[in-house]
Amino acid sequence: MTLSGDAQLLRIYIGELTKHGHHPIYDLIVTEARKRDIAGATVLRGPIGYGHSHRMHTAKILELSSDLPLVIEIVETEEKIAEFLPFVKEVLAGRGLITLEKVQVVPHEHRTT
């Protein structure tokens, strides 16, 4: 799918160990986004961060945390994000943080090398 022009960025902040049942939430969200033919999703792992509890999560060797911060970024049309958001809210069940931003997708050529 090619996406260009006006779009929306859905950003979800969670901990690496946040689960829905026995499944990591980041895996459920990205898998569901792909099933719904959403243009793109990426999971970013942060080396350090904190959330509402102000508890530090870090990859520093002396303060090693097993629950590093994750950010899931999904770019798609505003309509498709609006359709996807109820699923995200359901699996998060009040955990994490969700943000939305209007973005411009710049068209470019895909090259194979």
Which pLDDT belongs to residue 3? 81
CATH fold label, 7-104: Alpha-Beta Plaits (3.30.70)
Number of H helices, E strands in the chain: 2, 8
User: What is the pTM (predicted TM-score) of this model?
Assistant: 0.83
- β-partners of residue 97 are 13
Which pLDDT belongs to residue 58? 65
Q: Which amino acid is at 43?
A: V
Task: List pLDDT tens digits, range 31-70.
Answer: 999 999 999 999 999 877 777 776 766 665 555 556 788 9
Task: List pLDDT tens digits, range 59-104.
Answer: 655 555 567 889 999 999 999 999 999 999 999 998 999 999 999 9
pLDDT greater at residue 113 or residue 100: 100
Which pLDDT belongs to residue 56? 64
For the chain, which residues make up each domain, given as ranges?
7-104
Residue 11 pLDDT > 90: yes
Residue with tokens 């994490």: 96
Distance of CA 112 to the CA centre of its chain: 27
Q: Which amino acid is at 105?
A: V
Q: Which amino acid is at 77?
A: T
Q: What would the mean pLDDT of 10-23 be, rounded to a whole number?
A: 93
